[in-house]
C-alpha cells in the first residue's frame, strides 16, 4: 500500500475491497478529511488554517500524537463495510475510544461522568439510548432480511492448539488429522443448523426466531463502521499485535491498508509506540 521510495501512499478509492477468510471482506465506503484536517483542527484555537500540508504540519502531527492531544484526530473519519464471523464482530464492537463518553462507554471505562455532560441522542445500536458520538455501527439484521446463512470454516491446517502459558489466545497448529476431523464436525453442525433454519422458515416461523437454529460464532455478519481516526488507530494498536486473535488480526491489517493511504502522516504517528 505504501511507496516508501517517495513517501506517498498509493491512492485507494471508494469501494476498494480486501477479501478475508474466503467469504469475508473489508470495503472502503467513504471518508472525511485528511492529514491537513487534523492540523487545521489543532489550529482552531488560534483561528488559523493552512491550505496545503507542509513540513510544519507534519511536525505538528507528530507533536499531537506524541503528547496525547487526540481531539484533532477526531475531525477525520473513515467509513468501512465489514463482513466477518460473529466472533470477530463481537470483539470489534468493544472499541469505543475516540468517541464522546456516554453511559455505555463509561461502563467499560469504569468512570463516572455527571449526567449533565452526557449526550442523550440516539445510540449506536439504532435505539434511543445513549451512544458514542464519533463511532457508528449498523449491522445487517436477520429480523428484517433472510440473508443466506454463510459460515467461516477454517481449513484443516488452520486449526490452532491451546497456548502453553495463557488462558486465552492460541498456540501452534494442531495436527492436520485433528484439523480435518474438526472441519467435518463443524460442517455437520452448520449443515444441520441451516436445515433447521430453512425448516423453521418454511413452517412460517418468523425470521427473528428461526435464526436461533444457526450456529452463532462462525456465522458471517455484515456491518458498517464509521469511526474517527483516533478510534481506528486505537483498534489497530490493539489488534495488529502478535497476541491478537489471528482472524481479527487479519481484519486489522486490512483496515490499516485501506486507511493508511488516506492519512499517510497521521496514522503512522498514532500507531507508533
Tell me the mean pLDDT in the region 148-171: 87
Report how far residue 18's alpha carbon sits from residue 26's, in angstroms, rounded to the nearest whole number.
Answer: 5
Tell me the mean pLDDT in the region 218-242: 92
Tell me the mean pLDDT in the region 45-50: 84
- At residue 241, the pLDDT reads 87
Q: What is the pLDDT of residues 111-143, one digit of tens each?
A: 454 554 444 443 343 333 344 555 677 777 766
pLDDT score of 57 more than 70 = yes
Tell me the mean pLDDT in the region 50-57: 92
Q: What is the pLDDT of residues 8-28, one digit of tens each?
A: 446 799 999 999 998 999 999
Tell me the mean pLDDT in the region 147-175: 87
Tell me the mean pLDDT in the region 88-92: 90
Mean pLDDT, the chain, rounded, equals 83
Q: What percent of the chain has pLDDT over 90?
A: 60
Grid coordinates belonging to 212: 436461533
Cβ contact 229:263 at 8 Å: yes
pLDDT score of 109 more than 50 = no
Ramachandran angles phi, psi of 136, nearest 5°: -130, 140
Cβ contact 159:245 at 8 Å: no
Amino acid at each position: 500500500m505504501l511507496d516508501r521510495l517517495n513517501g506517498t501512499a498509493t491512492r485507494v478509492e471508494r469501494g476498494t475491497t480486501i477479501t478475508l477468510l474466503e467469504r469475508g471482506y473489508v470495503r472502503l465506503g467513504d471518508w472525511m478529511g485528511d492529514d491537513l484536517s487534523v492540523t487545521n483542527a489543532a489550529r482552531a484555537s488560534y483561528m488559523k488554517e493552512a491550505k496545503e500540508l507542509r513540513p510544519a504540519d507534519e511536525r505538528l502531527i507528530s507533536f499531537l500524537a506524541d503528547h496525547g492531544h487526540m481531539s484533532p484526530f477526531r475531525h477525520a473519519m473513515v467509513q468501512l463495510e465489514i463482513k466477518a464471523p460473529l466472533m470477530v464482530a463481537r470483539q470489534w464492537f468493544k472499541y469505543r475510544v475516540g468517541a464522546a463518553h456516554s453511559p455505555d462507554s463509561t461502563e467499560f471505562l469504569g468512570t463516572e461522568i455527571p449526567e449533565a455532560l452526557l449526550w442523550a441522542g440516539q445510540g449506536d445500536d439504532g435505539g434511543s439510548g445513549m451512544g458514542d458520538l464519533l463511532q457508528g455501527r449498523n449491522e445487517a439484521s436477520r429480523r428484517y432480511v433472510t440473508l443466506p446463512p454463510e459460515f467461516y470454516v477454517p481449513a484443516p491446517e488452520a486449526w490452532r492448539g491451546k497456548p502453553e502459558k495463557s488462558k486465552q489466545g492460541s498456540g501452534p497448529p494442531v495436527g492436520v488429522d485433528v484439523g480435518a476431523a474438526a472441519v467435518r464436525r463443524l460442517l455437520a453442525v452448520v449443515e444441520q443448523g441451516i436445515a433447521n433454519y430453512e425448516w423453521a422458515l418454511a413452517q412460517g416461523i418468523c425470521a427473528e426466531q428461526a435464526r436461533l437454529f444457526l450456529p452463532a460464532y462462525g456465522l458471517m455478519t455484515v456491518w458498517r463502521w464509521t469511526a474517527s481516526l483516533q478510534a481506528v488507530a486505537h483498534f489497530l494498536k490493539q489488534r495488529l499485535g502478535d497476541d491478537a486473535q489471528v482472524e481479527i488480526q487479519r481484519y486489522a491489517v486490512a483496515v490499516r491498508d485501506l486507511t493508511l493511504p488516506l492519512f499517510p502522516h497521521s496514522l503512522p504517528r498514532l500507531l507508533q509506540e
